[in-house]
Chains A and B, each alone.
Chain A
Amino acid sequence: MTMRRALSRMANPQLLALVGVLLINWILFPNFFRITWQDGRLFGSVIDVLNRGAPVAILAIGMVGVIATKGVDLSVGAVMAVAGAVAATLVVAGYPAPVAVVAALLVGLLCGLWNGFLVAVLDIQPIVATLVLMVAGRGIAQLITEGFIVTFNDPLLVFIGTGSLLGLPMATVIAIAMLVLVTLLVRKTAIGLFIEAVGVNRAAATLAGIRSRMLLMLVYGLSGLCAAVAGLIVAGDIRGADANNAGLWLELDAILAVVIGGTSLLGGRFSVPLAVVGALIIQAMNTGILVSGFPPEFNLIVKAALIFLVLIIQSPLATRVVVVKRPVREAGK
């Protein structure tokens, strides 16, 4: 029974797609799965996927809640730039690194709450409400950095971006921690159910006594916080806050990761772990393209074709054809 359940879990389309992409990578580049131990850390292409995929995975962890409420957060890329700019400018100005990190996280949270306010209280459509910060955020980041890349050598910030813990890249460790925390937050409380209820039918949710405004503030705030974490990682990685390029277009990758993870843009059912799997699928493609030696002119076409394939694999029709349905649980007892 456990065996069968574990197997049927494995058979979900996202994991199949991830395995498929990794196999393609392996065929194109036989050393893809080679992992070595070097300077106290694991080293290899698969580790690169985990490391490089972490920022988008963290964005997706925040984005999945927003999308489940029938919203979208276009501002996360810009919020990444803002958070990186805040942290870098503060350490360069001589503030202790923990202060800079906390300040960056707070700014990210505030950006998210601002989006939540526009959506929940002023009832502005999410795509428009978050577009405001998507455009303004990058400008704010540029103001903070005065237009140039603020470089730093602060050990804590660099550790967040490039350090390692237990042999794994720090970014991966942070992403795993966030995945566990957020999954517990939504599934061990009633928040996940309420998010789904609001996404499926906000009018009914309000009539059923769910405080949908507070809930929306929460999910957008969480998305902003996740964006700030991703922003810190990206800045630490290059030891600099690049206001022009940090997080550029990553909101789209995050949305794609969530969609690949099976959460509908129309709101409702969502899965945090599968959104992370979606992010890994995207990154596995990116890394695969890089190691395979295709000319760069093909990058976008190859990526588009692969994404198209993944979406087809997980379309309802394909699911019905390929995957054996799990037996429906008996009602009642």
Chain B
Amino acid sequence: MANIKLTNLNKSYGTVHILKDVNLDIKSGEFIVFVGPSGCGKSTLLRAISGLDQVSSGTLEIDDAVVNEVPPSKRGIAMVFQSYALYPHMSVFENIGFALENQGLSRADIKTKVEAVGEMLQLTSYLTRLPKALSGGQRQRVAIGRAIVRGAKVFLFDEPLSNLDAALRVQMRMEIAKLKRDLPKTTMVYVTHDQVEAMTMADRIVVLQAGKVMQVGTPMELYENPNSVFVAGFIGSPKMNFITGVPAEKLKAKTIGVRPEHFEFSDTKTDIAGTLDYTEILGSDSFLYVTTPTGMLTVRQPGRTEFKTGQKLNLKPIAQHVHRFGENEMRLAN
């Protein structure tokens, strides 16, 4: 049970302003994902919540108590690091039990708790091993086990999957999703630069850019109603197409955004016409790269495509899926 409230949070190193007036309300038991390009301040924000970095101004509350000055170990948080930060000279058992040892628990209590967590994460037969004798996925589980064993109210994840290969990443994504089901009361804050992780795991996503919160919402909200060119471009893969010029002006916008799957083909000449440059056939989908006067556009077609390279294509956005953005790159009301 822990809600987190950030009010006007600022963080600067010298003259570099890393976080700018961040306001955020995280509800108890929520799975929140911070996403953004590298250098956007998402890790700094996480570290501020953890207490590893001090904030420059603003308040940070956990469970309605201001914790700005509270050291990390007293905030009731646990953190899973990108490198897992397993103590290389300690066995899995000692790694998981280290925090309990620091709380002054008896040996017997530590043993019971560590073994319970080991069971939960299928690590029972690895408890005596050193981290270097574990696979990447197992290391990840030990890191999570360290967080679980302390019964922390808040779990912080700092890009925990970025060191894994693609197949393992999918598997671990599911394990974290399962963890979230198993610990419904635990608030989880997860940092990633990978929008796929954000989309698949988050209850709500926080998109950051240059130290500012751009938009907060559920994955589908962000997908369907991005409030800015930045968010629209960041969420979704392949990226949303942005079209300026005549087609946008016709819709009274500076820029319009159309997702690759939201194009239709027309037999008659349209505003957006171009030449098929290149095709990527993935089996389930095909991506068509079309050169038009407003730039290169990506079009997604289910299954195979019939079009040939060099062919002229007339594209037409599906009207209800067009996103309109104004002069300041922000969404225009419909």
Tell me, yes or no, whether A binds B. no
Measured CB to CB, the residues of B under 8 A from A are none
